């Protein structure tokens, strides 16, 4: 747009002409604003129309030649035109800035939803979980957790527990001995009782979870390696009723609050009297379409009052101290609770089994 300077010569510019010029500056500028396709194009329009040396300024310079009564109208119009252009520019600039920003973000978008490397979550082995749960229950009853070696000697595993060399109970244990060594793989967790009592004075209350080994043929209910949890409580005036209370408390916490529990006389060389603990279980059987339900007493652990011979072996005075002990199979606990019928599932590491129970 060029201001028609030729018309500015002469004695007086007719104000009507200047007003027309301002109007056409406005419409030309507004069209340029409309046509601006970018923020920088807007800036160019602003410099072209609103800068000090722009067309509006040129018209203003001609005002001096007008009469004083004509000037205000032209000045007012010039201001209105400047305002209209400024306003249109600001609006256009804001719209363009917004869409330019959106386009930039779109262009810089990084797709992080592409398939990554799947990392399946692991789960705690059902045996470990069972041990943790049982330990938690006994901790709540004031027991602490003790551990002992899996490779034992004859004295800790048998002798100190009142199982002499010719004792028939040794046959039940069918021991795995280390070749060329007097050592053996512990056949039960009871040697940890002995180690605990040898290392601390009474009173004490411990449970000892761990691996045990026997020379068993492996089948659905036998494994050469399995887990036991041993319990031992020694104090003054500890009675069989205390043992019964603790065991019942445990069974109700682990299997369910209303489960009937019974104690059946039994024999262990290291406890006297001894008992076998049974719990009443609901057994659901499915044969084809027929589902039958029955109840059965199921053996859950062995227990008894610590034999005075055991106290003598570890140097506790059997006249002062009494106590009880119990021992249970961890696989058995888990099998009964989860209805598992084959112990081998625990050791085959089939992820489908492990992730169901983990």
Residues lying near ligand PHE in the complex (CB under 6 A): 188, 190, 230, 268, 271, 302-304, 325-327
Which residue, 259, 327, 343, 331, is CA-closest to 295? 259
Least distance to ligand PHE, CB of residue 163, Å: 10
The DSSP output letter for 51 is S
Nearest-angstrom CA–CA distance, 13 and 216:
122
Taking the least distance from each CB to ligand PHE, the nearer of 188 and 281 is 188
The CB-nearest residue to ligand PHE is 327
Minimum CB distance to ligand PHE, residue 117 (Å): 46
Residue with Cβ nearer ligand PHE (13 or 307): 307
Residue 329's φ and ψ, nearest 5 degrees, are -90, 130
Min dist. Cβ of residue 124 to ligand PHE (A): 25
Calculated CA dihedral for residues 132, 134, 139, 143, nearest 10 degrees: -120
Q: Collapsing DSSP states into helix, strand and coil, what is residue 151?
A: strand
Tokens of 163: 């199982």
The span from the CA of 4 to the CA of 17, in Å, is: 10
Q: Closer to ligand PHE by CB, 49 or 326: give it.
A: 326
Place of tokens 């008992």: 275
* DSSP conformation letters of 166-231: T-THHHHH---BPTTSS-EE-SSSHHHHHHHHHHSPSPEEEEEEEEEE--PPPSSS--SEEEEEEE
Q: Give pairs for 47-51: CB < 8 Å, separation 24+.
A: 49/25, 49/85, 50/82, 50/85, 50/86, 50/89
| Nearest distance in Å: CB 187, ligand PHE | 7
86 conformational bin, left if phi > 0, alpha if psi -120 to 50, beta if neither: alpha
> Which of 70, 230 has the CB closer to ligand PHE?
230
Q: Please, which residue, 33 or 234, has the CB nearer to ligand PHE?
A: 234
Beta carbon of residue 173, minimum distance to ligand PHE (angstroms, whole number): 8
Q: Which two tokens stand for residue 154?
A: 């004859």
Minimum separation from the CB atom of position 255 to ligand PHE (A): 19
Closest contact distance (angstroms) between CB of 274 and ligand PHE is 6
- Our CB check for ligand PHE shows the closer of 117 and 217 to be 217
21/193 with CB nearer ligand PHE: 193
Residue closer to ligand PHE, measured from CB, 25 or 275: 275
Give how far Cα 8 sits from Cα of 29, 77, 80, 235, Å: 21, 18, 21, 120
CB of 242 to ligand PHE, least distance (A): 14
Q: Minimum CB separation from ligand PHE for residue 325, in Å?
A: 4
Q: What does the buried/exposed string (b/e) look like for 121-144 if buried means 16 or more CB atoms within 10 Å of the residue's CB? A: eeeeebbeebbeebbebbeeeebe
Comparing CB distances to ligand PHE, the nearer of 78 and 206 is 206
Torsion angles phi and psi, residue 292, rounded to 5: -115, 145
């Amino acid at each position: 747009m060029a201001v028609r300077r030729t018309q500015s010569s002469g004695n007086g510019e007719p104000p009507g002409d200047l007003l027309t010029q301002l109007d056409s500056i406005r419409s030309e500028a507004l069209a340029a604003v409309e046509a601006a396709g970018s923020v920088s194009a807007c800036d160019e329009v602003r410099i072209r129309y609103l800068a000090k040396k722009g067309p509006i300024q040129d018209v203003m310079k001609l005002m001096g030649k007008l009469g004083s009564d004509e000037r205000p109208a032209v000045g007012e119009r010039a201001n209105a035109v400047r305002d209209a252009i400024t306003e249109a520019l600001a609006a256009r600039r804001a719209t363009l800035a917004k869409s330019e920003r959106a386009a930039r973000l779109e262009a810089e978008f990084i797709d992080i939803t592409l398939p990554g490397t799947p990392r399946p979550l692991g789960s705690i082995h059902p045996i470990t979980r069972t041990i943790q749960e049982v330990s938690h229950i006994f901790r709540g009853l004031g027991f602490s957790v003790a551990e002992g070696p899996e490779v034992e000697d004859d004295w800790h595993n048998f002798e100190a527990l009142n199982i002499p060399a010719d004792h028939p109970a040794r046959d039940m244990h069918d021991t795995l001995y280390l070749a060329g060594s007097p050592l053996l793989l512990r056949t039960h967790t009871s040697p940890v009782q002995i180690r605990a009592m040898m290392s601390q004075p009474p009173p004490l209350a411990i449970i000892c979870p761990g691996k045990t080994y026997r020379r068993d043929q492996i089948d659905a209910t036998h494994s050469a390696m399995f887990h036991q949890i041993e319990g031992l409580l020694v104090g003054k005036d500890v009675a069989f009723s205390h043992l019964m209370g603790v065991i019942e408390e445990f069974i109700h916490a682990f299997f369910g609050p209303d489960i009937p529990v019974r104690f059946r006389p039994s024999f262990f060389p290291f406890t006297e009297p001894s008992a076998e603990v049974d719990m009443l279980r609901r057994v659901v059987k499915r044969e084809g379409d027929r589902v039958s339900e029955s109840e059965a007493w199921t053996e859950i652990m062995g227990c008894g009052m610590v034999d005075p011979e055991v106290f003598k072996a570890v140097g506790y005075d059997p006249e002062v101290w009494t106590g009880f002990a119990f021992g249970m199979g961890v696989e058995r606990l888990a099998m009964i609770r989860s209805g598992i019928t084959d112990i081998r599932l625990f050791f085959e590491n089939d992820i489908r089994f492990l992730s169901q129970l983990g």
